[in-house]
Amino acid sequence: MTAGGPNPAIVINALHARYPDLHVIEESPESKAEIWRRRARRLGVLQATGQLATMIAARLLRKAAQKRIDEICRTFRVDPNPNPRIPVHKVASINGADTLQRIADLKPAVTLLVSTRLLSRKALAAIPCSVLNLHAGINPAYRGQMGGYWSLVEGDRENFGATVHLVDAGTDTGGTLYEVRTTPAQGDFISTYPMLLTAAALDIVSRAVGDALDGSLAPIMPAGPSHLRFPPALWTWISVGLTRRIW
């Protein structure tokens, strides 16, 4: 299940090469207004507005990032384009009744989330198989969003990586199945970190799916402090970029 885009596409294509009986449920992405309202309730209007500004800036920079993204795809030999042979079921939300009916019809052996909204408790309880998530950060220190970015900001470059974990009722709090770490290139920044981490994680995604299919999932609860991350406010992102060259 995904909200679409080139990052999930490389995961879908890689999995389809190994597991041809693959179906995609693609939800409509949350609107910026919905995201802003939710964060404003949690973090306050100022912080939510600053984060939204960074998200908009990152989107505007995607064109500038395309050269590096193309390089990542060549390096990892991945395809960011949708494969028309893979069935895609469009839904409004992964938490909707139509999604749950589609899952009931498909009877999946394992479900993988890649770049979706949070799965509700009701939807999670209704899915009759293990639910896995690909998270672009190392849990539990870099739960939430922009895990790779925050690991660099905190001087924790050795934990620039991704996690595949079981999904529970929390935000990236389920048991860890696999982790992978990599190193960003000089040209990487906030618009390219997610693609780099997704490409680096394809092997552990495939291994986790395989474990789910053969009944050998072995989650662990990683030690260390747990922090829920959000995108940096625009002023934080610019300040860190100018002073520490972490963009």
Distance (Å, rounded) from C-alpha 53 to C-alpha 74? 31
Is the sign of the CA dihedral 103, 104, 107, 110 positive or negative?
Answer: positive
**By residue range, what is the domain housing residue 214?**
6-244
Give the list of residues 6+ apart from residue 169 with CB closer than 8 angstroms, or none: 121, 124
pLDDT at 44: 96
CATH number for 23:
3.40.50.170
Q: Could you give the number of structural domains in the chain?
A: 1
pLDDT at 128: 93
* Residue from 148, 205, 164 nearest 11 by CA: 205
Asked whether 89 and 113 are in contact (CB, 8 A), the reply is no
- Return the residue matching tokens 């190193």: 183
pLDDT, tens only, 20-30: 999 999 999 99
Amino acid type, 186: Q
pLDDT at 145: 95
- Burial degree of 81 (CB within 10 A; 0-12, 13-18, 19+): exposed
- DSSP code, position 84: T
Which residues in the chain show pLDDT less than 50? Answer: none
1, part of any domain: no
pLDDT at 59: 84
pLDDT, tens only, 100-130: 999 999 999 999 999 999 999 999 999 999 9
According to DSSP, the β-strands at 88-91 and 24-27 are: parallel
166, part of any domain: yes
211, part of any domain: yes
Residue 65 corresponds to which tokens in the numbers above? 């990032």
pLDDT at 235: 97
pLDDT, tens only, 140-167: 999 999 999 999 999 999 999 999 999 9
Count of residues in the chain: 247
pLDDT at 60: 86
Beta strand extents in 59-103 (DSSP E only): 88-91
60, part of any domain: yes
Residue 89 corresponds to which tokens in the numbers above? 């079921």
pLDDT at 123: 96
207, part of any domain: yes
Which helix H or strand E contains 111, and what residues bound it? strand 110-114
Residue 100 corresponds to which tokens in the numbers above? 């749950």
224, part of any domain: yes
Amino acid type, 20: P
